[in-house]
Structure 1
Amino acid sequence: MNLIPSIYHMNRSVIKIILLSAGLFSLSIKTYALAALPQTEPVADTLKLNIKDAENRLLQNNLQFLAQKYNVNIAEAQVITAKLFPNPDFSFTNGIHATQVANAASQQSATLSQLIQTAGKRNNSIQLAKIGVTQSKYQLFDLLRTLRYTLRTDFYSIYYQQQSAKVYQEEINSLAKTLEVFKQQYAAGNIAQKEVLRIQSQLYSLQGEYSNLLTSIDTTASEFKLLIRANPDQPVAPVIDIDSDQQKLTSVPYQQLIDSANVNRYDLRLAKSQVDYNNINLKLQKSMAVPDFSLSVNYDKLGSYGNNFIGAGIEFNLPFFNRNQGGIKQARLAISQSQLQLQSQTDAVQSQLSTYYRLAQRQEQLSNSIDPSFDKNFTRLIKGVFDNYQKRNISLLEFLDFYDSYKNTTLQINNLKQAKMASLEQLNYVTGTPFFNNK
């Protein structure tokens, strides 16, 4: 049966509906093509920034990072304290009353003493304090690594979700306009109610999905803006300039990733420094078993040995019972514990790197499987589908199903691109080095 001639026998009002719908559909396709371009017109008061701008704002404004910096200053102050020598002690006695003495106030005595630390206690304490400064810096850099990972994953998540939101906006706008026309024609008795209800149902479904997507965008954007301390009410629009050559996983050899993780993972370096800390602490605990001594000089104006007596003395405890046996044992156990923790941390880093590398390989393969000309071909194909619907070669349900598949496929492509970027960010995080996604 030849369907094309049958169009001429259709109601003229129905033909007008179809032609108007075709115009609306064509307009939505053109709108989507413009929205898919990398650069779009900025929304009023929208914060537009690339990944470098976002990281700079993180370093300058993030309160958690700025507060952690004070721990480094605190640790440096502890080094100053460790370098200080003990203060000398001074005591003075003036007579008040004594029997058989006419003027007890004339009796005076004074003592000056200085504690002398032995067995390298002071040097060991200084070394521990310096290691404390190093550990505070490692903790600061590891916090920055975590904050950057959160910032960058939020950045790319917002970008690709916003791209998906544009698809919903275009479909919703197109269907809303088509629905209004169909309602008018239904009221005039030119089309069946089921066609109106089917479009209305599709529109409600899209609006629900769109609302859920906006909620997800708002949640991620809220965390992102908190990281950089942006205005909570200000919309953000990440700007991405993706260079496909720099996004290739194979551009960085796997061994280089391993080497970088061993050097630039500050949590791993923190675990190594803890072993050093415990080794120095063992030396300190052993030195605590050696008693310190105190040297003193005293003066007695009316002493029992004669007037204006001057004497010198030394004082120290006898290590018969307490030789710091418990502290030494604890220090040895702490060394063994920290060595196991270091090995555990090293194994965890290698395991994470292996897992995330395989994940990145899979995501890159999926991303590479996307035909670059898909958008153009699919847009042309869906226009052909609409032409067939106009000629009544397919039903309204078939047309809407294909229209829906266009949305789903486009969203899936955005999800694949986002997953690829996220997998590369995981490699940046696990290696402690920004190898990927630097534009």
Structure 2
Amino acid sequence: MKKYLLLLLSIFSLTNIKAQEPQVLQLSAEQVEALFLKQNLQLIAEHLNIDIADAAIVQAKLWDNPEISVGQINLWSTDRQREGEKEAIPPLFGSFARNTQFSVELSQLIQTAGKRGKLVKQEKISKEIAIQEFEEVFRGLKVELRKSINEIVYLQAYQKVLAQQEESLGQLTIAYQKQVAQGNIAKSELLRLQSALLELENEANDTQIDLNEQQKGLKTLLNVPPSVVIEIIDNTKTVQDPTNLSLAELLAMASEYRPDVKASRLQTQYHEKSLAYEKAQRIPDITVNANYDRYGGVWKDFVGFGVSFDIPFFNRNQGNIKAARINRDQSIHLAELQQNQAQHEVAEAFGNYALAYRFYKRVSENSLLSELDGMLTIYTKNLLNKNISMLEYIDFMDSYKTNKETLLSARKKVDTQFEELQYTVGSEIK
């Protein structure tokens, strides 16, 4: 465990590396996923939407601010407003507000019908939707990451196959060049070997280009510097036998765990709360106020209280209530559609995985494929000893490469289809 933690610490420190020299980093699939969870920028950014939803809940709980207004202020006074030299309106204190009339009103809006509580409930569901949207992004990125890992493992293994063939052909080419120089072998046979070698080198270059593309995608997901070259350690996992899986259980898991399905159901709940809130808007809010009027009426210092509210005569929020009800009904249908799509996706992915598994099982149990490496050495020696013809050797080399590629491709497909099945289910399949 200690070695594992030290390795992860060294991985995380790579984000600060500015050197241009390529640095090879060997990681297992588990270590790649640990780094992905730690450093993927899209996940980090998406998770902030949950914090934004939390802030919206806090805002919904807040009361409206009280409002204060000052009015009816006379900025100057005339002689008629005075009684000779005696001040008509004495100052409040010192010389402040001498001969000045004004009024002050303090008001507070009070929401009725539990509007604040209904809005808070609505925002809490928005947070749950944000969580499921984060899980949906995580689900998509995780399957992309794992498919990339499978592709890199395949390309790395195929590179070794090509390198092994290149090594054999290289040895033969050197031997044949000596034989041609001595006049023992026709140049056409050497040309055939060199042509096959060039073809292999060209395919090796194309494979490296594909690997570079996969490396780019993986390093973007992991947020590591471009100078780092990631080499995946192929820890062969046990392939799940689809006969041990129940399609009915997988369908039930998708209904329970898939974040897009859960989010669609939450949308219905959100619109239910929105409808309740719009219905509450029919009941007018109340504004209570207190005011002070200085020399503005019968009394020189008047303090009064009041209440105001709308009379719901013309506008009873009919339009918004109707729209909220339609949104609620629409979300019910969309949730059902999402559920149906998820079920069909699981069934399709399960069928594809079963096909990939059967083919992989058939290929991997072929005893001849396990003997190919030994046969490559034998064929190379036989050609050097002139026990077989050049045509037989080239035909074997083509068959060797094709069968190796078929085996590696079958393994990649079964792993990829299994990840696709887990993606459609929305959960790890044990």
Report the TM-score when normalising by structure 1.
0.85
2:254 touches 2:425 (CA, 8 Å); kept in 1?
yes
* 2:309 paired with 1:303: no
Contact 1:89/1:113 (CA < 8 Å) preserved in 2?
yes
Deviations 1:225-272 (A, max 9, x none): 11111232222121233343x632334332222222111111111111
- The Cα of 1:45 is off from its aligned counterpart by 4.1
The structure 1 residue matched to 2:135, chosen from 110, 132, 141, is: 141
Query: Is there any run of 5+ residues in structure 1 with no aligned partner, and where?
Result: 1-43
The residue number in structure 1 matching 2:273 is 280
Aligned counterparts of 1:184 and 1:92: Cα–Cα separation in 2: 108
**Secondary structure in 2 matching 1:433:** coil
Q: 1:192 aligns with which of 166, 177, 186?
A: 186
Which among 239, 262, 267 is matched to residue 260 of structure 2?
Answer: 267
Determine which of 360, 363, 370 is the counterpart of 1:367. 360
Match of 1:210 among 204, 211, 227: 204
Matched-pair contact (CA < 8 Å) for 1:263–1:269: yes
Same amino acid, percent of matched pairs: 29
User: 2:50 is matched with which residue?
Assistant: 72
| Structure 2 counterpart of 1:95, from 69, 74, 82 | 74
Is 1:61 matched up with 2:44?
Answer: no
Question: Number of aligned pairs?
Answer: 392
Cα drift, residue 388 of structure 1 = 5.1
Aligned to 1:322: 315
Post-superposition shift, 1:386? 4.6
Moved more, 281-290 or 192-201: 281-290
- Whichever residue aligns with residue 103 of structure 2, its letter is S
How much has 1:98 moved relative to structure 2?
A: 4.7
* Corresponding residue number in structure 2 for 1:340: 333
Take 1:144 and 1:95, find their aligned partners in 2: how far apart are those partners? 65
Matched ranges for 1:380-419 at <5 A: 380-386=374-380, 389-390=383-384, 392=386, 394-419=388-413
Cα separation, 2, equivalents of 1:299 and 1:221: 74
Give the Cα separation in 2 of the matches to 1:363 and 1:405: 22
CA contact (8 A) 1:50 1:238 kept: yes
CA distance in 2, matches of 1:148, 1:105: 76
Secondary structure at 2:283 match in 1: coil
Q: CA RMSD of the aligned region, Å?
A: 1.9
User: 1:40 maps to what in 2?
Assistant: none
Match of 1:115, SS state, is strand
Change (3 A) 1:185 1:206: same
Task: From the superposition, tell whether residues 319 and 132 of structure 1 become closer, same or farther in structure 2 (CA, over 3 Å).
Answer: same
Question: Equivalent residues in 2 for 1:152-301 (5 A)?
Answer: 152-244=146-238, 247-301=240-294
Partners of 1:98 and 1:53 in 2: CA distance: 83
Q: Which residue of 1 aligns with 2:15?
A: none
In structure 2, C-alpha distance between the alignment counterparts of 1:305 and 1:382, rounded to whole Å: 115
- Asked if 2 retains the 8 angstrom alpha-carbon contact of 1:356 and 1:426, the reply is yes
Tell whether the 8 Å contact from 1:156 to 1:238 is kept in structure 2 after alignment.
no
Consecutive unaligned residues of structure 2, counting only runs of 5 or more, are 1-21, 83-88, 90-97
- Equivalent pair of 2:172/2:380 in contact (CA under 8 Å): no
CA apart distance, 1:213: 1.0
Segment drifting more, 349-358 vs 199-208 = 199-208
Superposition deviation, residue 387 in structure 1 = 5.6
Give deviations 1:15-56, integer Å, cap 9, x for gaps.
Answer: xxxxxxxxxxxxxxxxxxxxxxxxxxxxx9421222221111
1:22 aligned partner: none
Q: Helix, strand or coil: the match of 2:60?
A: helix
- Structure-2 separation of matches of 1:156 and 1:226: 16
* Distance in structure 2 (CA, Å) of the matches to 1:297 and 1:376: 93
Which residue pairs with 2:429 in the alignment?
435
Choose which of 110, 113, 122 in structure 2 pairs with 1:119. Answer: 113
> How far apart, in 2, do the equivalents of 1:284 and 1:122 lie?
9
